[in-house]
Amino acid sequence: MSQVSMPYAAADGLVRVYPAGTDAAPDAAEAAPRSALVWAHGGGFAGGDLGMPEADWVARSLAERGITVVSVDYRHAGHGFRYPVPSDDVLTAWRWTLDHADELGIDPARLAIGGASAGGNLVTGAVLRLLADATTTTTERIRPLPAGVFLAYPTLLDAQPAPDASLRALLDANPEADRSPSYVHDMYENYFGAPVVDAPLDVAPGRAAASDLAEFPPVLMINSEIDHLRVSGEVFADTLAEARVPLELFTEPGALHGHLNRPGERAASDSIERIMRWIARGFIPDAAPTTTPTTLRTTEGLPS
């Protein structure tokens, strides 16, 4: 692995920057601006921190492979804050990263955004807000959108469809992976601070229609197989495909929700390698589509 500099706090403590690793004697190519990822951990909108593996281990793993990561310490819902505060924090971190691209040594045209679980919701909502801003303000029109969006087992619907028979059987066999509809609903109401039925689209992005996603950046979504929240990710993936957004959709076999929080599991390391290949390809789906011209779906693991 490359040598990695120490992470450091920036943006008045809103972010922790993980500089891309470099070899001891970097060549000219390595001195060129790099790809980067603005990253938001999960925690049900109300928990999580920059020290959890989903934040720190993921960021270090990508930095070791040459990707600068800006990890966002957004404020939690239910601690005196509600929507749009966590969403605002993600947008502030995104804009800070763009504004400091030169000093970070990153290429704004190769800057992606991503999040896990509730963090996946926050970054998806942030991109929808950026798209809305771009239609109304000159400032946002001249800022590049994310080059890609990485979503790890995202929660995107406050009221999601029931699992199909195969997922229902997996959840019944693994009750610790199951959550009631009321659990998900309460999580969203805590985030929004009011009945979610009246919430803006960016609170529950899984409600989006294809017309809402016409300009959405390319997406890599990696779900956990044994996960009640997988349904909301798949609903959103179907809408992305309908909107013809370049999409690569994987389901890590045998993984429970939050597998990036368990670095010792193969699913976690496999997901890191999938992210790296997606970035290296310029955020383009990996193979010929199996369902639509822009979508790749698979539950197969990586070769041993």
Cα–Cα dist 195/207, whole Å? 15
Residues 16 and 3: beta-carbon distance below 8 Å: no
| Strand-strand pairing, 247-256 and 149-152 | unpaired
* Beta carbons within 10 angstroms of residue 303's beta carbon: 4
Residues 119 and 257: beta-carbon distance below 8 Å: no
| Catalytic positions | 117, 227, 257
Task: At 104, give phi and psi (nearest 5°).
Answer: -80, -10
Order of strands across the sheet that contains 68-72: 8-10, 15-18, 68-72, 34-40, 106-116, 149-152, 219-226, 247-256, 295-298
Distances in Å between the alpha carbon of 194 and those of 87, 129, 172, 199? 16, 20, 32, 8
